[in-house]
Structure 1
Amino acid sequence: MGQSAIAYIEVSGRSIAYRLRSGQKPTLVFLPGYASDMEGTKALALDAFAEHAGLAMLRLDYSGTGSSNGDFKDGTLALWLEEALAAVDRLTKGPLVLVGSSMGGWIALHLALLRPERIRALVGIAAAPDFTDWGFADADTAERQGLARGFWESGQGLLLLDKPIEIDCPVRLLHGERDEEVPLDIAFRAMRAPRSADVQLNVLKGGGHRLSEPREIDAILHAVATLIEQPLEPAP
């Protein structure tokens, strides 16, 4: 069957590219990281899994990335969250399993707060909630290191780890032991923050930030398959 076709929705005047695979529920929703898109290794592996399992899946490119229009430097966490929420609300029905990579994990947590009745589970891959806070001393430092001031300011208004996160769904976090971009301490903070009692952190020995090696992809797919009780391979 292959990949689903690229289509577009308009969100506050921005044309947002997405791919939507039809199938059974729950719908998998992949949320890319900062400066990433829906065609990366993890997104394609998850899409292939969805195809084999007969599951619906949605993935999208935030404005200014991938096949969506706009200037990347104009992107903010609030804008990209708005786009992800619009895509979920307009393009899917029923229960969802959110899979967020790096910054996408931050967006996934916010989506779970905004649509708690729809989120069956959440998977964070090297999740980076609050990275404007712990990753940079201030806006000037962020700009010097290549992060737009607007994004930094937006992120500071959407911090989560400074208080309990009122999420009750199962949460699975996968994090590389040697992640040099998102310290392992952040993964432990992200594990402790949700209100849910069903939260697990899987630290992958020797893993970096990308978590795109075959064994790492297998760990991600296993986490998703377990949450939705689906086999990793198609039934004979």
Structure 2
Amino acid sequence: MADPFTFARDGGETIAYRRIAGRGPGILWLGGFHSDMSGSKAQALSDWAEKNDRAFLRFDYFGHGESSGDFAAGTISRWRDDALAVLDELTEGPQMLVGSSMGGWISTLLAHARPERVAGMLLIAPAPDFTEDLIWSRMPPEVQAVVQEKGVWNYAEGGYPITRTLLEDGRNNLVLNKILRAKWPVRILHGTADTDVPWQQGFKLVDQIEGDVTFTLVKGADHRISSPTNLKLIEITLEALLKEMDAC
């Protein structure tokens, strides 16, 4: 795989990205928490876009993958702003937002901020408001105390850090308390065997999006939704969305 391109963000940090030229609407991939643009879903969609002459862009947030920065210093606001900068500076015209896990939350924040730039949304095991609903609310009181006192807690032995700053910032970016008036189609895929982000969390977005929304449960799929069958389902769903856009 060729080295990624980079562009500078505030503070001298750089965001790594890979881009494929093609026709619009373009596809903007928004990855998950502690994941990167080399994952199987991003790569599969990149291959699909290249075969189908679709513009496609994927990138790594601050502190993720091939971008610079310390992951522990990242916040939802920072990663949202990275995505907004990518949307504004590296893409043209309406974009199909494809968000996986945390990328589903970031996609929703983009849609609120730049509704005129959105052609459609495909959310894969979305994790809206996960810092509050799936991390903080699940922490035992003694772990919450550690976070409050020390400012950080390592998720599992050798795992990634969860900081007080991340949790506090997440509360400023909640999307399950506001309505998104979508003038574009939204498709959501979520696995029934997802133990990281239960499908009920993703389903909460249905009530918060005003418009054409379809929620599909994928039997037996876990949070990654990346088996060959699952990847094919993602491609089929994306292709159907884009055909709908082309017909308009």
Partner of 1:151: 166
**1:213 equivalenced with 2:213 (yes/no):** no
Structure number with greater Rg is 2
Structure 1 unaligned regions, length at least 5? 231-236
**Equivalent residues, number:** 227
For residue 82 of structure 2, what is the amino acid of its counterpart? E
The answer to whether the Cα contact below 8 Å between 2:30 and 2:58 also exists between their aligned partners in 1 is yes
Root mean square deviation of aligned Cα: 1.7
Deviations along 1:160-216, one digit per CA (max 9) or x if unpaired, are 1123223332111000001001112112211221111x1001100001100010111
| Distance in structure 1 (CA, Å) of the matches to 2:163 and 2:59 | 21
Deviations along 1:47-80, one digit per CA (max 9) or x if unpaired, are 0110011011111001111111111100111001
Higher-helix-fraction structure: 2
Partner of 2:43: 44
The answer to whether the Cα contact below 8 Å between 2:28 and 2:57 also exists between their aligned partners in 1 is yes
Question: 1:1-236 alignment to 2 at 5 Å?
Answer: 6-13=4-11, 14-135=13-134, 136-137=136-137, 141=144, 143-144=152-153, 145=155, 146-196=161-211, 198-229=212-243
| Distance in structure 2 (CA, Å) of the matches to 1:21 and 1:81 | 22
Which secondary structure state, in structure 1, belongs to the residue aligned with residue 63 of structure 2? Answer: coil
For residue 179 of structure 1, what is the amino acid of its counterpart? D
Normalised to the residue count of structure 2, the TM-score between the two structures is: 0.87
| Distance in structure 1 (CA, Å) of the matches to 2:83 and 2:112 | 13
For residue 30 of structure 1, what is the amino acid of its counterpart? W
User: After TM superposition, where is structure 1 displaced by more than 3 Å over at least 4 residues in a row?
Assistant: 138-146
Q: Give how far 1:151 is off.
A: 1.3
| Distance in structure 2 (CA, Å) of the matches to 1:17 and 1:122 | 23
Q: Give how far 1:5 is off.
A: 5.0
For residue 58 of structure 1, what is the amino acid of its counterpart? L
Which secondary structure state, in structure 1, belongs to the residue aligned with residue 180 of structure 2? Answer: coil
The answer to whether the Cα contact below 8 Å between 1:168 and 1:194 also exists between their aligned partners in 2 is no
For residue 149 of structure 1, what is the amino acid of its counterpart? R
The answer to whether the Cα contact below 8 Å between 1:129 and 1:161 also exists between their aligned partners in 2 is yes
The answer to whether the Cα contact below 8 Å between 2:128 and 2:202 also exists between their aligned partners in 1 is no
